[in-house]
Chains A and B, each alone.
Chain A
Amino acid sequence: MGRAVTPVERLVVLLREPTGAVALSLTEWTDALTVARAELLLGTLAHRVDGLALPAPVARVLADARVEAEETRRAALWEANRVARALRPLRIPAILLKGTAFVAAGLAAGRGRSIGDCDILIPRATLPEAEALLAQAGWEWVKSDPYDDHYYREWMHELPPLIHRERDRMLDVHHTILPPTARPKPDAAALIARAEKLDGGLAVLSHPDMIVHAAAHLFADGDLTGGLRNLWDIHALIEERGCDGVESQAARHDLAKAVARALRLAHAIYATPVPPAYRRATVIDRLYRRRMLARDGWGRGRHPVTRGAFYLRSHAIRMPLPLLARHLWIKWRKGKAAPASE
């Protein structure tokens, strides 16, 4: 019994159990590296198999990936440094989120991680002053349309995305970790109060809160694009520092379901050492798993029906239906009007 292992399944196995890497053929490696790149996991893979005896052309690509990951880390830390410097007058720590947090705190989850934007969490009351300080220090809005601006401020959970004028890097400033219009209501004040300080005006979430945030981000914030990488974050966090406190914090932030699903999926895909209650996948879990493994050896997304369903769901999650209809209506109308204007 058994169909052939698909390239994405092979990637997952390599991440889980790197010693199998020595058995791969060159064509299997071409597929595995293509999938890893598409899933933003090439740096992670390169660290997992570092030191194994691999064919020279493969080893070169992986060495390149480790060098690139080092440069990514440097750029992320510098951006955090500049953000902290700009926000110094606020006299509160800027709490780093996601990849930047992992590298700033020296966590295993940061090793080889691809990092794009800088994400920070600050108290809602400080947003206006933060906005002004960032503008002074060279950040600008990415979206300048007043409707989109309103959408971001009122309905999303962040200032509109910022980009630095000279460095060309994006910054997302959050005051909570889910949109106010989404159903779960995390306790932003508790997240901030339990944050762990680093040097230089920076901080990161406490360990259990990091896992809760990663789970929220994985399910409640998107259509699961990048799911394998986000799930790997959760796996690496748990493998390094365990699960203590995660369940109680999940309940505290109204995210028990999302966290439970994240733990079950991490175990199912990456064999993460989770508590026994999370070691069996449900029927819905299998749909999520299918969505996460929807990529072929050429780097293309597969299963268009599943992917489409998740995209619709992701928009619905961010905004309840009546609001969503109005938002899409206005967007559609604006799209129609565009060609006629001069």
Chain B
Amino acid sequence: MSGPRYRAAGAELLIVEPLDLFTAVFHRPSGMTHLLTEPAPQILEVLAGEALTADALLARLSQDYELGDAAGEGAAMLQARLEELEAAGLIDAR
């Protein structure tokens, strides 16, 4: 299954300030401040490097993180996060 490829907004559009469990991200085009917690900062970091489909992103993140105990649950959760990030303008879908 393919689906759209996601890509993070360009680095010049974001100001990232790690706090503790949370990371504050200022998105310059929208003027909005987002407080992100895992796995959102990690998603942004991976997608800053390359454009990936949701499946490819899940595979990449699973190398380093636990994302739910079954592929189905992890994929659904990731999809929900991707939609939130896209609605906020932090990532684009192509």
Q: Which residues of A contact B (CB under 8 A)?
A: 71, 74-75, 77-78, 81-82
Contact = CB atoms under 8 A, between A and B. Distances in A.
B29 A77 contact: yes
A171 to B, nearest CB: 16
Interface in B52-94: 89
Which 4 pairs of residues, A with B, have the shortest CB-CB distance? A78-B30, A78-B29, A74-B31, A75-B31
Contacts of A78: 29-31, 89
Nearest to A79: B30
Nearest to A137: B87
Interface in B26-62: 28-31
Interface residues of B, number: 5
B31 A81 contact: no
Interface of B: 28-31, 89
A70 to B, nearest CB: 11
A58 to B, nearest CB: 28
A81 B31 CA distance: 13
Interface centre among B28, B29, B30, B89 (most CB of A within 10 A): B30
13 contacts: A71-B31, A74-B28, A74-B29, A74-B31, A75-B31, A77-B29, A78-B29, A78-B30, A78-B31, A78-B89, A81-B29, A81-B89, A82-B89
Contacts of B28: 74
Contacts of A82: 89
A74 B31 CA distance: 8
Contacts of A81: 29, 89
A77 B89 CA distance: 13
A148 B80 CA distance: 37
Contacts of A74: 28-29, 31
Contacts of A77: 29
